[in-house]
Structure 1
Amino acid sequence: MTRTVLIVGCGDIGSRVARLERAEGHGVSGLVRSAQTAARLAAQGIRPVAGDLDKPDSLAGLKGGWATLYYLAPPPASGADDPRLAALLDGLPARQLPDRVVYVSTSGVYGDCGGDWVGEDRPPHPQTGRSRRRRAAEEALTAWSRRHGVTAVILRVPGIYGPGRLPLDRLRAGVPVVREDESPYSNRIHADDLAEVCFAAGWRPAAEGVYNVSDGHPTTMTDYFYRVADRFGLPRPPAISLEEARRVLSPAMLSFLEESKRLDNGRMTRELRPKLFHPDLESGLAACFNASGPALPGISAR
């Protein structure tokens, strides 16, 4: 029988996962809420399944029967939990539940760790609203999976970079960074490699529980911006003190500066054994440069 999967949140990463599944001859469906998205997915060989996570009644007709459900949709922008995930889980037919759910969470659930190396046994301590909603979703999925005997795999993902996912606009605008001696540690994963990790989590028989996802080579956030600027031939941004940054940077930017951690990806590499094409920032940025070309005006990336 052909393996079939459902992808919820079939954007950039979801589309990459779909390509990996289809390359293995598996059937892929994607949850959609608009005709435009349905047409886009159909053009990629993904079967559209109608449903809106913000309208639970629209999920009542889900047929089920998927081997793996990949959940990559974000929670709402406010609130204490994730009603979207809850609506989907409630809408799944009880007699045709997936064998496995792969949930893409965030490493932000750990909060600030003072630059320590962090393994999956570190107790979560989310400090922002978005991280608290992700943590609530993790707990809800874990409880649901135990009740129904479904394997749950939770991937705690840091910053994602790749073509179209680089801070080129910020660098062109000259937005300052924190001095390197005060800059927090940050972790990252190339978009191609995140898709590989998701795919491995979806079919490795022993995959279960929580996995930190990263390339295993954390650097300071300022070092990341400098290296992107150097690779694309842009001026390095001005450096300011953390104290000054708290006065001039946006709350969203500051939220990233208040957390420092280095993710231990040992469990991921041992158990999921994904194929990492870009195991460090140098190789990943080189691939981005080759895909995008020089940082000419008009190339937008975030």
Structure 2
Amino acid sequence: MIATRKLRRARVLIAGCGDVGLRCVPLLAHRAAAPRVIALSSQPARVTELRAAGTTPLIGDLDERRSLRRLAGLASTVLHLAPPQKTGDDDTRTRALIAALSAPRRSVARAVTSAVARQRAWRGWFRATFKSSKPAGANTRAKAIKRAPIVPDRVSSAAARGWPIRVVYASTSGVYGDCGGAWIDETRPVRPDNARAKRRVSAETQLRRAARRGVLNASIVRIPGIYAGNRLPLARLQKGTPALAPADDVYTNHIHADDLAAILVLAIRRAWPQRVVHASDDSELRMGEYFDRIADAFGLPRAPRVSREQAEAQLEPMMLSFMRESRRLQNTRLRDELRYTLRYPSIDDFLREARIDPTVTSIPVASPAG
């Protein structure tokens, strides 16, 4: 009986189970009907870590389609947290994931093949039986059977089960490009300014097209800069990397990694199909102000301020791309539709807790704000 219940447990596949994905695992485990969590990883060295976190590791590489064959029919829910590849405008990893998820399971394929064989055999028997003697109505029946479609050789596992796969995709607010510091909601048209954001738009487009085909049911969560105890720009501040002068500075948006994990798990049940939600906190900060708050909290010197022209000469292209985009995300859908209450409405709430609990910042890692 216990084994049977385990086999019947719902399965959640996490594609791209990094820091945020691992934060999702305990939240999934505490649900009323705790699903089995399967973590897709291209790194065999992470198997022990993923298993210790409570997942079932599965080795597969989104850059190698052959390694994804076992994904067909594996899970009814997918958290797609994997970033696109680093080159090109098309997200080939999302394309490979959709193809793997929508491929027929072997058991389904065998059943379909058997149905095709039986139907073809029935046609042959009917033609042979009524070739010479044709009783009344035989012609009509023969024509009806001839017109009857043979079951297609390829049918998606989702369609065979009768419902689409549920996908929650972690996208980025970078798809909007530069908005001049304006407040924007999820209806704002996308206008990516760089190849990285174009690949994200490509992934969103692919998921929506797959949803229209009935292959899956997708919701998109657009995410700004992520921070946490192990995702703070402390190394950047220690190096004295400059920030933009107030006159040239841009608005930036943030979300704590714990809040983001909770939002992604909640989106599985509450996010509307084919709809976008901003996973952003309530803060309204410019990038330099964000760095200053962290520097002051940890006793570090504030980042020196430079003009945009000076920044173009001193900073690497990745950081400059963030400094060219200014926007403020509205999170109305997060509150009203997902009905989520932020644990950290702003970076200040997190920093107050960090001062009380020094273990919050035990593993400082540089991370640009988005």
Q: TM-score, normalised by structure 1?
A: 0.94
- The runs of 5 or more residues in structure 2 that have no matched partner are 1-7, 104-155
Deviation at 1:35, TM superposition (A): 2.5
In the alignment, structure 1 residue 16 sits paired with structure 2 residue 23 = yes
In the alignment, structure 1 residue 188 sits paired with structure 2 residue 254 = yes
Q: 1:13 to 1:193 in 2, by over 3 A?
A: same
Provide the C-alpha distance between the structure 2 equivalents of 1:65 and 1:299, rounded to a whole number of angstroms.
Answer: 36
In the alignment, structure 1 residue 264 sits paired with structure 2 residue 330 = yes
In the alignment, structure 1 residue 253 sits paired with structure 2 residue 260 = no
Quote the RMSD (CA, aligned, Å).
1.9
Residue of structure 1 aligned with 2:157, choices 95, 100, 103: 95
Matched residue SS, 1:40: helix
Provide the C-alpha distance between the structure 2 equivalents of 1:54 and 1:44, rounded to a whole number of angstroms.
Answer: 25
Deviation at 1:34, TM superposition (A): 3.0
Deviation at 1:4, TM superposition (A): 1.9
Q: Is the 8 A contact 2:72 2:100 kept in 1?
A: no
Provide the C-alpha distance between the structure 1 equivalents of 2:42 and 2:319, rounded to a whole number of angstroms.
Answer: 31
Deviation at 1:232, TM superposition (A): 0.7
Q: Is the 8 A contact 2:278 2:331 kept in 1?
A: yes
Deviates more, 1:33-42 or 1:254-263: 33-42
Residue number in structure 2 paired with 1:73: 82
- The runs of 5 or more residues in structure 1 that have no matched partner are none
The number of residues matched between the two structures is 301
In the alignment, structure 1 residue 244 sits paired with structure 2 residue 310 = yes
Instruction: Give per-residue Cα distances to partners, 1:63-122, cap 9 Å, x unaligned.
Output: 424232000001011111111111111012321475310000000000000000011111
Residue number in structure 2 paired with 1:4: 11
Structure 2 counterparts to residues 62-211 of structure 1, below 5 A:
62-92=71-101, 93=103, 94-96=156-158, 99-148=165-214, 150-204=216-270, 206=272, 208-211=274-277
Q: 1:181 to 1:53 in 2, by over 3 A?
A: same
Q: Is the 8 A contact 2:208 2:274 kept in 1?
A: no
Instruction: Give per-residue Cα distances to partners, 1:203-249, cap 9 Å, x unaligned.
Output: 12645411111002121000000000001111111111122212222
Provide the C-alpha distance between the structure 1 equivalents of 2:94 and 2:365, rounded to a whole number of angstroms.
Answer: 31
Q: 1:205 to 1:77 in 2, by over 3 A?
A: closer
Provide the C-alpha distance between the structure 2 equivalents of 1:69 and 1:294, rounded to a whole number of angstroms.
Answer: 29
Q: Is the 8 A contact 1:163 1:291 kept in 2?
A: no
Provide the C-alpha distance between the structure 1 equivalents of 2:17 and 2:355, rounded to a whole number of angstroms.
Answer: 25
The residue type paired with residue 95 of structure 1 is S
Q: Is the 8 A contact 1:112 1:261 kept in 2?
A: yes
Deviation at 1:299, TM superposition (A): 4.4
Deviation at 1:5, TM superposition (A): 0.6
Q: 1:291 to 1:136 in 2, by over 3 A?
A: farther
Q: Is the 8 A contact 1:232 1:295 kept in 2?
A: no
Matched residue SS, 2:209: helix
Q: Is the 8 A contact 2:271 2:337 kept in 1?
A: no
Q: Is the 8 A contact 2:244 2:307 kept in 1?
A: yes
Q: Is the 8 A contact 2:354 2:360 kept in 1?
A: no
In the alignment, structure 1 residue 212 sits paired with structure 2 residue 278 = yes
Larger radius of gyration, structure 1 or 2?
2
Deviation at 1:291, TM superposition (A): 4.9
Q: Is the 8 A contact 2:211 2:274 kept in 1?
A: no
Provide the C-alpha distance between the structure 2 equivalents of 1:121 and 1:12, rounded to a whole number of angstroms.
Answer: 29
Identity, % of aligned positions: 43
The residue type paired with residue 227 of structure 1 is R
Residue number in structure 2 paired with 1:47: 56
Matched residue SS, 1:38: helix
Matched residue SS, 1:148: coil
Q: TM-score, normalised by structure 2?
A: 0.77
